[in-house]
């Protein structure tokens, strides 16, 4: 997972799955708050990409935007939307990549105690 996807996954409280024997990450991420019928966490592959042109926007609005909603004022939403529109123009029209860029700016600009 590249740096931007990893930063957003950690912000959205995904947990990296660690191998039991080696203690090293195995490339999978555990989804926050969702479980299967047997009560286990749903696990997503390392291919979970918030920047994906097709599915990234759905992942962002499912897990990242609600987390931002808990922590942003009206002005914060304005900044998010302003940065998103600017990033869409800058990234050549990939709305998922653009929203990732806007979210990254907000993550980087927040004091850690305000974000988490």
Q: How far apart are the C-alpha atoms of 105 and 86, rounded to whole Å? A: 12
List pLDDT tens digits, range 53-106. Answer: 888 888 888 888 888 877 776 667 777 777 787 777 776 777 888 888 888 888
Q: ∠ at Cα 107 (41, 84), nearest 5°?
A: 100
Please state the rounded mean pLDDT for residues 4-33.
Answer: 81
H or E element, residue 9: helix 3-11
Whether pLDDT at 33 is above 80: no
The reported pLDDT for the residue numbered 59 is 86
The reported pLDDT for the residue numbered 115 is 45
In 3D space, the residue among 66, 51, 45 whose CA is nearest the CA of residue 7 turns out to be: 51
63 DSSP assignment:
I
The reported pLDDT for the residue numbered 113 is 44
């Amino acid at each position: 997972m590249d740096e931007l996807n990893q930063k957003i996954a950690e912000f959205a409280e995904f947990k990296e799955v660690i191998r039991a024997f080696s203690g090293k990450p195995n490339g999978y991420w555990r989804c926050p708050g969702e479980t299967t019928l047997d009560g286990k966490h749903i696990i997503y592959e390392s291919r979970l990409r918030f920047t994906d042109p097709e599915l990234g926007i759905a992942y962002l609005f499912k897990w990242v935007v609600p987390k931002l909603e808990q922590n942003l004022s009206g002005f914060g939403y304005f900044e998010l939307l302003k940065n998103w529109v600017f990033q869409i123009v800058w990234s050549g029209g990939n709305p998922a990549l653009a929203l990732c860029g806007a979210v990254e700016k907000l993550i980087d600009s927040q004091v850690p105690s305000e974000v988490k």
